[in-house]
Structure 1
Amino acid sequence: MKNLTLGLRITLVTGIPLLIGLSVFLFLKSYFLNPTEAGNKQKISFMVAPGTAFSKISEQLVEQNFVKHALIPRIIAGLKGIDTRTIKAGEYELSRGMTPPAIIAKLASGDIVKRKVTITEGMTIRDVGRLVAAAGLANEIDFWKTLHDPLLLKRWGVEGDSFEGYLFPNTYFFSLPIKPEEIIYTMMKEGEKIWPDEYTNQANLLNMTRHEVLTLASIIEKESGDVSEQPMISSVFHNRLNKGMKLQADPTVIYGVGEFNGNLTKADLETPTPYNTYTNFGLPPGPIGNPGKNAIHAALYPAKSDYLYFVANATGKHTFSNQLPEHNKAVSELIESGNGQPEKEAKAKMGSPASPLANNTVSLRSTPKAPLISSKEKP
């Protein structure tokens, strides 16, 4: 009996501390290593601002319920030998179903979120602003204001009143935090990469500035997305400029109108705006969109032709003419076929003789110069 009692005492003396130790271990494991919401895989944005101390990051993790105590990240980082000073600023995707060690490993990896923005050829700066806002990279109004910042335009040598035409079409990946001017600068520099010295020399031969080349390229881009046709369309515009004729390009009218319902009318063609190349001679005051590489090349290197007119045909391409009667015949045939442009739009452009300038000299610029976007287009 005494031996039984002694054995029980020994068991209690040794077992209770072991049980307590096991309980403490399990508690600490649960507290330090288990996720705050097991099974919750919902991705949540977690921002690390530039220059933020790791102690502050730890507090933010607690505030957003990713860990239970601010000491936890610091202990884990210490045990894993992570230099917390090297944690990269930016946006991270975390979930409350992640374990604290997994969260710290994610931050230490520098695997920040990259937000995608794809600009296609011909998009306007308003289109770009909407995409940037939709990606959560900037407020649309703030981005719009930056696009028209006169100090920024002057600093970066942009001739126009906005960055229209200078945001190169491409797919971009941006990470937060980022300023609107950083986004614009990245897109602008991408365009400079495809502008070699050869382009500057060719522009000089054409007696055109880069701004004028981008303006013409933006019109070509809007007239046809068919790369094979762009040099021929460019030749029409160059021929008209060289003869002192109005460009009579529909996309410039649409851009100047601001709010377009998809139906180009004779009234639109006669509405006086700085961008209406039916009422003004020469190029409009600036680009009407952001042209791609092929349209820019076409503006600089037009095909050799004597064409002065073109109209969209039933094939989706264009019929080119060098005489007005020939052009009007092509338009009439198009109307009769029921294909191509809407009848009302085609008729609006029939019989519009190209009027030469009084002195028969080339004027690349339209006057007076006005803001690139009408007030109606502001976000």
Structure 2
Amino acid sequence: MKLSLKPTLLYLFTGSLIFIWGTGGLFYYQSSHPAGEDTQAVIVNIPPGATLKQISADLKDRNLIRSASAFRLLANIRKKQTQIQIGEYELRQSMLPVEILTTITSGKTVLHPVTIPEGYRITEIAQLLVERNLADKEVFIKEGRDMEVKSMLKIPSGSLEGYLFPETYHFSRYDSERKIIRTMTDTFKQRVLTPDILNKIRKSKMSLHEVITLASLIEKETGKGDERKHISSVFHNRLHKNMRLQTDPTVIYAIQGFDGNIRKKDLSIDSPYNTYRYKGLPPGPIASPGLKSIIAALNPIKTNHLYFVSRKDGSHHFSSSLKEHNRAVRKYQLRKVKRR
């Protein structure tokens, strides 16, 4: 007796059809529905070298997608399997898989805010970035000697000290130290190298480097906005009279491992930054000045003052003569300090 194959083939065909429909339906459901309703943000890190398989497995483990294999298939169908970019991404369980795929291929990573205070030196900026897990200190300081930027800004000193503009920035965990520095120097160019300021620099008969250096001294001497131009006046007057500037922040900058106290012997340190020992401006900025200090360096008020001393309340007493200055020192300070 001869058996008919038709019913068997029909069963196989029907079974295959059901399997394909079922698999397709499952894929459609898993790739078109969110994993849940939770709208709380989840930060997902995609490191360099991560594969689509690893990424999809991580998303599944964190309950952000229903199926790792369905997500991989979705990525392949949309031809985005090679377009996933490294970085941290803010995802939610309530997002559709296609929305998650779009996010991690967009490059729109989580950006971390960091505020660079006015008056920070490059080592302090580096340490701040280290504390925010945004940079390696040694690499950052090394990149701070970027020859291309130094050449463009005509910086004669050894680093970009003073040119990393104090501002609030937003960086990705995977931004390189060079990119961070370029962002800061680009901001310097945008905020400082304006037609108005460049015109004032030309009229001042100082170079840009000298202006930023003077501004950094002003920045370190006072945090009071209404005193900046007055401090600038003292420095301009002393420079005009060929007097040593004798400003403590330059000594502090010259001291290796400063412990918070300036001793008498420190005033004799043989460093070009020591303005107690050498006349004129130091070789370069000692910190990053803010825009107000840069403007003050270019616009000193007119006075005959040559000295100032801290009142220990954030403000200063200004004097025209050494005799008057010494009286102020005795009044406001615990010990007598002379500026010659």
Question: Which TM-score applies when normalising by structure 2?
Answer: 0.79
1:118: which partner in 2?
Answer: 115
When the two chains are superposed, the root-mean-square deviation of aligned CA atoms in Å is: 3.6
Q: Supply the distance in 1 between the matched residues of 2:85 and 2:286 (Cα, whole angstroms).
A: 37
User: Paired residues, what number?
Assistant: 318
Distance 1:70 1:172 in 2: 38
Query: What residue identity is the alignment partner of 1:159?
Result: P
Q: Which residue of the partner structure matches residue 91 of structure 1?
A: 87
| Conservation of the 8 A alpha-carbon contact between 1:311 and 1:319 | yes
Match of 2:53 in 1: 59
Match of 1:333 among 322, 331, 334: 331
Report the AA paired with residue 47 of structure 1: I
Deviation at 1:264, TM superposition (A): 1.9
Question: What CA distance in whole angstroms lies between the structure 1 residues aligned with 2:197 and 2:30?
Answer: 64
Correspondences of 1:225-374 after superposition (within 5 Å): 225-335=223-333, 343=334, 346-347=335-336, 349-350=337-338, 352-353=339-340
Q: 133, 136, 139: which one pairs with 2:136?
A: 139
SS at 2:225's partner residue?
A: coil
CA shift digits 1:64-110 (9 cap, x unpaired): 454654552332774xxx67389573423357967745532533565
In structure 2, stretches of 5+ residues that fail to align are 1-15
Distance 1:192 1:20 in 2: 64
Residue in 2 that maps onto 1:366:
none
- The separation in 1 between residues aligned to 2:193 and 2:75, in whole angstroms, is 51
Once the 2 structures are TM-superposed, how far is the Cα of residue 23 of structure 1 from its aligned partner? 9.3
Which secondary structure does the structure 2 equivalent of 1:311 belong to? strand
Say whether the 8 Å CA contact 1:90–1:176 is kept in structure 2: no
Separation of aligned partners in 2, 1:239 and 1:168: 27
Match of 1:75 in 2: 74
The answer for unaligned runs of 5 or more in structure 1 is 1-16, 336-342, 354-379
Shift of the alpha carbon at 1:63? Answer: 5.3
CA 1:241–1:87: 2 relative to 1, 3 Å: same
Which whole-Å CA distance do the structure 2 matches of 1:188 and 1:110 have between them?
A: 23
What displacement does 1:273 show? 1.7
Amino acid at match of 1:304: K
1:219 counterpart residue number: 217
Residues 36 and 96, structure 1, Cα contact 8 Å, conserved in 2: no
Q: TM-score, normalised by structure 1?
A: 0.72
Q: Which residue of 2 aligns with 1:164?
A: 161
Conserved in 2, the CA contact under 8 Å of 1:35 and 1:96? no
Number of the residue aligned with 2:13: none
Structure 2: how far apart are the matches of 1:62 and 1:171?
A: 34
What's the % identity of the aligned pairs?
Answer: 35
Aligned-residue offset at 1:287: 0.4
Name the stretch that deviates more: 117-126 or 321-330. 117-126
Asked whether the equivalents of residues 121 and 290 of structure 1 are also in contact (C-alpha less than 8 Å), the reply is yes
| 1:84 counterpart SS class | coil
* Distance (whole Å) between structure 2 residues aligned to residue 75 and residue 65 of structure 1: 14
